Structure 1
Amino acid sequence: MNHQVFSELDLTSLLSLSFSASINELHDKLSKLGFEDIRPVHGFMFKRIIPDGATGIELAEYLGITKQAVSKMVDFLEKSGYVMRQTHPTDKRGKIIVLTERGWLVVKAKEEIIAEIEERWIKNIGTERMQMLKEDLTNLIHEANEGKLSSRLRPIW
């Protein structure tokens, strides 16, 4: 696809393509680092777990999915060594999901890879334009969410 064809795409398509390219690169690199079982939805879940853990109900609300779906994902991530269930600090009957050492390692790797991707974008469009892009997108998100940043970062697939 040449530049002219890309310039004819609507904003939503361009945002979607840039998101997909970034996520695909991120997960390819995570896979090469030994985190091949991590999927985009896990990253969204980790965002809610960090820094102090989250209950299954909190994760379900955040991701917009059922508690049963969260339970299956937590089971998978627990078996893979990324999270563990602990007794809730204020409700001894409940459980809280927290990251394990392996979970924190994948978060650190993700942060480094995203920083590399952003650096490459900065080299391509410049620091000032990158800052403007972030500010403009932040403003659009604020407007779409009635004056605040959405607290829900979740996949739509």
Structure 2
Amino acid sequence: MSHQTFNRLDLTSLFLLSFSTAINELHDRLMELGFEDIRPVHGFMFSCISPDGATGIELAEYLGITKQAVSKIIDYLEKNNYVIRKTHPSDKRGKIIVLTERGWSVMKAKDEILTEIEQRWSENIGAERMQMLKGDLTKLVYETSEGKLPSKLRPVW
């Protein structure tokens, strides 16, 4: 795709392409660090789980998918030592999903990699323009969200 073609893309497409570019690099780098079994949906789930854990129902609602689908993802992540099911502290019949040490390690690596990507992008367009871009996007999201920023990022499927 040429630079001229990018100039004709609508804003939503540019948001999608920039998000995809960052996420693809993130997952390539995570793979290099030994987290080859992590997918983007897992990152959204981890952000809902941390810091105190979450129930399967909370995860299903957050991700906008069925409890059965969440259960399969949890099984996969538990098998790969990213999460563990524990007895719920206030409902002894229920379970709460929490991150393991490996889960926290991938979250730390994700944060470091995304910071590096943002720094590189900032160097590319200039720190002042990056701050303006972030400020403008924050303002748009803030106004669209009726004066408050969402506390958690929810995926849009």
TM-score, normalised relative to structure 1: 0.94
Q: Distance in 2 between matches of 1:45 and 1:96?
A: 13
What is the SS of the residue equivalent to 2:51? coil
Q: Which residue of 2 aligns with 1:53?
A: 53
Verify: 1:117 aligned to 2:123, yes or no.
Answer: no
Q: Which residue of 2 aligns with 1:100?
A: 100
Q: Which residue of 1 aligns with 2:44?
A: 44
Amino acid at match of 2:78: E
Q: 1:44 touches 1:63 (CA, 8 Å); kept in 2? A: yes
What is the SS of the residue equivalent to 1:86? strand
Q: 2:47 touches 2:152 (CA, 8 Å); kept in 1? A: no
Name structure 2 gaps, 5 residues minimum. Answer: none
What is the SS of the residue equivalent to 1:98? strand
Amino acid at match of 1:80: N
Deviates more, 1:93-102 or 1:146-155: 146-155
Verify: 1:146 aligned to 2:137, yes or no.
Answer: no
Map residues 20-35 of structure 1 onto 2, 5 A cutoff.
20-35=20-35
Q: Distance in 1 between matches of 2:18 and 2:56?
A: 31
Per-residue deviation at 1:128? Answer: 1.8
Counting matched residue pairs gives: 157
Map residues 9-24 of structure 1 onto 2, 5 A cutoff.
9-24=9-24
Q: Which residue of 2 aligns with 1:4?
A: 4
* RMSD after superposition: 1.3
Name structure 1 gaps, 5 residues minimum. Answer: none
Per-residue deviation at 1:152? Answer: 5.1
Per-residue deviation at 1:113? Answer: 0.6
Deviates more, 1:141-150 or 1:29-38: 141-150
Q: Distance in 2 between matches of 1:66 and 1:138?
A: 31
Q: 1:62 touches 1:153 (CA, 8 Å); kept in 2? A: no
1:17-41 CA-partner distances (Å, limit 9, x unpaired): 0000000000011011111110000
TM-score, normalised relative to structure 2: 0.94
Q: 2:55 touches 2:95 (CA, 8 Å); kept in 1? A: yes
